[in-house]
Structure 1
Amino acid sequence: MHDTGLAGALGDLSGFRQRFFDCLTSRADALFELADAALCANGPVASLAELSLEPEHRRGHGGLYDALNSGGIDIGRFRNVVARQSIPRCHDGRIVLAIDISHWLRPDASTSPERLFCHTYARGKGQAQMIPGWPYSFVAALEPGRTSWTALLDAVRMRPEDEHTGLAAAQLRTVVGNLIGAGHWREGDPDIWIVGDSGYDGPRLAFLLADLPVQVLVRLRSDRVLALPAPPRSPGVRGRGTRHGARFAFADPRSWPSPAHTTTADTARYGTAAAQSWNRLHPKLTRTGAWARHDDPLPIIEGTVIRLQVERLPGAGTPKPLWLWHSALATTPERVDRLWQTFLRRFDLEHTFRFLKQTLGWTAPRLRTPEAADRWTWLMLAAHTQLRLARGAVEDARRPWERSAPTPARLSPARIRRGFRRIRPAAGSPANPPKHSRPGPGRPRGSRNTRPAPHHHPGKTIKTDTKS
């Protein structure tokens, strides 16, 4: 049985590697071997030039940088390849997608275009900083239970002219469409849940994706004010009826009506968790920001609000309540507990970001152009997918001070990466060996660069309509 599982894992890995190679349209051999070098390197990736010394990369450092600067990847085709791999599901068979942004900080790259100011946290309270860099929006399928694994499905770089929630809606529409096209969702299956943090406008996201089989679950700030449903109109009253009911202020318990459901659960990590839910709450929309160009009457986007209060937080003081907004109009007590537990699984994506940056070296290269950064980002997504497919084929190469994992599925991505070099020959490599060539003459000795790179200022680009 173990041999059957090993052969199946190697078959899936080998098939993905071939299809990934077919998506490389230019400098395919160099790009493919660059991803292999990042997967097989001993220790964390610190620089691209060091990867050219790995035996899996049979080309020089000049070919490595040339592949990133001038190579080609068919992104649309590769998205379909990733979507056709195995997708983790919850216990009820539901697919849960998490969306979040991770920053590639480039504070000193004044010649790199399309940089934005990225919000970064510091150790001290109130020490957050805005540092120029390239923000990337990632979408990943979450696994049930506490784990450091996620299934990365898509990555999009945010441009200066992009609107945050609009970009997320377009990205999620592409991912969900690919999942449906790959047969992961069929008519009659549970709706796909989309989980996001407070940086996303949940009601607008649900409005933009209303034609898809999805439900949105996002965190709200603790200072938000929503509205209850409008009361029924009295007979004989003339004039336009009211569209909003009484205000529901998160910070004012006096404005809360009786909750629809109240649940309690005992957790090993957070102690007693008490949840309350209210149905059919909506925000009061105004024609500002993303709704400024909405021609029709502003919609009423109702959903369920959940307030979660836990007994303790690891390494923190008195915990503050967590507020969630779900696009479904009504829930059950069991669904309320499932929703807040699913939201906590969103933090597994933070483990993926840390692994990409600290181990695979996603933000280690000092690339100038954002196009080269996009190619390297997709190579990282391909490398992470290969590690996920190799979970059933890699033997545990644990350190003497590490605990042994009960099953191969419980191995972390870093421990799977340690043994990837051993199974790489069995998975095969479609890359062709390098051809013998002579280096170019380069710039003549003593000459100077007469065409310096232009400098670019970071920041958003706001487009406004000019009136004649």
Structure 2
Amino acid sequence: MLCHTYGRGKDQHIMVPGWPYSVVVALETGRHSWTAPLDAVRLAPGDDAASVTARQIRDVVDRLIRAGQWHPGDPEILLVADAGYDGPRLAHMLADLPIIVLVRMRSDRVLRRPAPAPSPGTMGRPRRHGDEFAFGDPDTWGEPDITIETTTRLYGPALIRAWDRLHPRLTHRIAWAGHDGNLPILEGTVIRLQVERLPSGAIPKPVWLWHSHTSLPHTEVDLAWQAFLRRFDIEHTFRMLKQTLGWTTPKLRSPDAADRWTWLLLTAYTQLRLARELTADLRRPWEKPRPSQRLSPSRIRRGFRNLRPQLASPARVPKPSRPGPGRPAGTPNHQPAPHHDVHTVTSPNRQKPSHNKKTKPSNPQPRKPG
């Protein structure tokens, strides 16, 4: 598929052919860049990201329960995702699991308040949706239910405001096209995080979060925005896999080889994570000293070379051998490498424009409902 990659400069984002993966990691508390990869699934052309993610999360949670990592009565599992995931839909698909969904929403979203009670003597069908709550229009916000003012180490003063019982207005289109009956009302809590500065020096933009639970107390709102900031630890894991362990270095020709290589790197990363308290810190002269429990993945990998010879290996000593003769010169290759066409995601209901009919231009600034 064509995968979106981020460039370093302005407007340097390009699309490159590759195999996209959906990765689930466990986050830890504290200031570090470690994560625990739990599962990785390759997305096929035409797959729905929300459906694949729901099946993946369900499988991971079932394995955690069977392994005894979660018991009835324990706190619910907090699922934190970025804006590329449909949070209300994930919460609806995973409603039978002990999961709390916390996702970031685009800043142009428009949600709805609860429908008001019908007035006495009103005829007709009662309203299902209340007034609009537009993220880009402060006049529609009203007074927040919870307000928190705090100071963070990296971002400076932070203002957190939360509004209870907001839901998107769903329609029988795209993901909900085959839904029978009335569409559900997926209420949640909207949290707006505004900070004063960013570590990179860029102008900070407000972050909008959607929490799948309603009537949150002050402590849960304070925990939600901090948990979302911990989500950025997964970016350090991807950087480690790509730049240090060489996830994208080999030019693999088949998706099966990509799956094997991905799981091999996740296994190697897990070995480094398990060796966090066993390796010594081989720091560079310009690096600051750190305690053993605060070493980064790259510094653990640097000291792993002294630990590996002391570990037992289940493999035997390799026997000396010579390379084979290979294919004789002049003989053609009768088993060419497989070729995979690059698929682009297009709308199945897209119609080709007719040259005989005049088409009406679309609205240059569409408003995204729901």
Say whether the fold is shared (TM-score over 0.5): yes
**8 A Cα contact 1:304 1:329, kept in partner:** yes
Counterpart check, 1:429 vs 2:321:
no
Cα distance in 2, alignment partners of residues 456 and 382 from structure 1 = 27
Match of 1:186? Answer: 71
Counterpart check, 1:443 vs 2:324:
no
Residues 25-74 of structure 1: CA deviation (Å, up to 9, x unaligned): xxxxxxxxxxxxxxxxxxxxxxxxxxxxxxxxxxxxxxxxxxxxxxxxxx
421-430 vs 330-339, which deviates more? Answer: 421-430
Cα distance in 1, alignment partners of residues 339 and 96 from structure 2 = 43
417-426 vs 390-399, which deviates more? Answer: 417-426
Query: Structure 1 residues 246, 388: CA separation in 2 closer, same or farther (over 3 Å shift)?
Result: same
Match of 2:89? Answer: 204
Cα distance in 1, alignment partners of residues 297 and 112 from structure 2 = 44
**8 A Cα contact 2:21 2:41, kept in partner:** yes
**8 A Cα contact 2:254 2:338, kept in partner:** no
Q: CA RMSD in A?
A: 1.9
For residue 233 of structure 1, give the secondary structure of its aligned residue in structure 2. Answer: coil
Residues 5-38 of structure 1: CA deviation (Å, up to 9, x unaligned): xxxxxxxxxxxxxxxxxxxxxxxxxxxxxxxxxx
Cα distance in 2, alignment partners of residues 393 and 314 from structure 1 = 32
Cα distance in 2, alignment partners of residues 420 and 317 from structure 1 = 36
Q: Aligned to 1:241, which of 110, 126, 133?
A: 126
Cα distance in 2, alignment partners of residues 121 and 207 from structure 1 = 31
Match of 1:97? Answer: none
**8 A Cα contact 2:54 2:94, kept in partner:** yes
**8 A Cα contact 1:279 1:330, kept in partner:** yes
Residues 286-334 of structure 1: CA deviation (Å, up to 9, x unaligned): 1221111222421111100001111111233432111000101121222
Counterpart check, 1:282 vs 2:173:
no
Name structure 1 gaps, 5 residues minimum: 1-115
Cα distance in 1, alignment partners of residues 95 and 344 from structure 2 = 28
Cα distance in 2, alignment partners of residues 336 and 128 from structure 1 = 34
How far is the alpha carbon of 1:449 from its aligned partner?
A: 2.6
Cα distance in 1, alignment partners of residues 241 and 59 from structure 2 = 23
Q: How many residues align?
A: 349
Counterpart check, 1:308 vs 2:193:
yes
Larger relative contact order (C-alpha < 8 A, sep ≥ 6)?
1
136-145 vs 421-430, which deviates more? Answer: 421-430
How far is the alpha carbon of 1:231 from its aligned partner?
A: 0.7
How far is the alpha carbon of 1:464 from its aligned partner?
A: 6.7
Cα distance in 2, alignment partners of residues 154 and 354 from structure 1 = 17
Query: Structure 1 residues 334, 461: CA separation in 2 closer, same or farther (over 3 Å shift)?
Result: closer
Amino acid at match of 1:458: V
Residues 111-158 of structure 1: CA deviation (Å, up to 9, x unaligned): xxxxx1111122333332221111111111111122111111111111
Residues 30-429 of structure 1 mapped to structure 2, 5 A cutoff: 116-405=1-290, 407-429=291-313
Name structure 2 gaps, 5 residues minimum: 350-370
For residue 352 of structure 1, give the secondary structure of its aligned residue in structure 2. Answer: helix
How far is the alpha carbon of 1:457 from its aligned partner?
A: 2.5
How far is the alpha carbon of 1:284 from its aligned partner?
A: 0.7
**8 A Cα contact 1:248 1:255, kept in partner:** yes
How far is the alpha carbon of 1:441 from its aligned partner?
A: 4.5
How far is the alpha carbon of 1:452 from its aligned partner?
A: 4.0
Match of 1:34? Answer: none
193-202 vs 408-417, which deviates more? Answer: 408-417
Query: Structure 1 residues 231, 137: CA separation in 2 closer, same or farther (over 3 Å shift)?
Result: same
240-249 vs 422-431, which deviates more? Answer: 422-431
**8 A Cα contact 1:161 1:463, kept in partner:** no
For residue 155 of structure 1, give the secondary structure of its aligned residue in structure 2. Answer: strand
